[in-house]
Amino acid sequence: MKVLKNIILGLAVSLSVLFFGSCSGISKIKDIKVTSCGVESYSMKGLRSIDAVLAIGIDNPAMAFTVTDLSGILKYNGEDVAFYTADTVMVDKKSSKVYDLPCSATLSERVNLMQALQIARKGSLEGLTTDIEAKVKLKNGAGKTLRFKDLNLQEMAERQ
């Protein structure tokens, strides 16, 4: 069960990275903050997948934007552990609120449940990285696909 929480935490931390880097060069973007992150609900889909709803608090003093087609790979010591996707989230301009983000994660074919539990037993994010891709679209229609490789989840969690 802890590995699933780590996967969800990894997704949340990755999403925060996405928000921080999504619109560089636009004033006030640097002031966007992820203020909270939690798991609202989750349900197992067999022994290899999970669906969840994350509650992500975002303080956005800038313009509205939408994040779509968010997907990524969670890695442990460079090896694929799980694949994840998240639904669309629309962040309101000049707001501070909590957004529900439905998402799902599936273990890699090379990882069995016992291996995932061994990673989870360590109780830390050490060795966990993620690759992430998403489309960010501003309200005026301008958009961009963003790709991040090998984001260190432990470092990102420590920054929050």
pLDDT in the model for residue 8: 53
- 52: pLDDT confidence band, cut at 50, 70 and 90? confident
Assess whether pLDDT exceeds 50 at residue 107. yes
Helix, strand or coil, per DSSP, at residue 23: coil
The stretch 144-156 carries a mean pLDDT of 83
Out of 18-22, 31-35, 98-102, 143-147, the most confident range is: 98-102
- Burial group, residue 1, by CB count within 10 angstroms (0-12, 13-18, 19+): exposed
Which residues lie closer than 8 Å to 34 by C-beta, 6 or more apart? 12, 15, 16, 19, 56, 57, 58, 160
Residue 42 parent element (H or E): strand 33-45
Q: What is the pTM of this model?
A: 0.74
Residues sharing a CB contact under 8 Å with residue 76, sequence separation 6 or more, in sequence order: 119, 127, 128
Angstrom distance (rounded) from CA 37 to CA 8: 10
At 137, the pLDDT band (50, 70, 90 cuts) reads confident
Entry field: residues in the chain: 160
Between 144 and 90, name the one with better pLDDT. Answer: 90
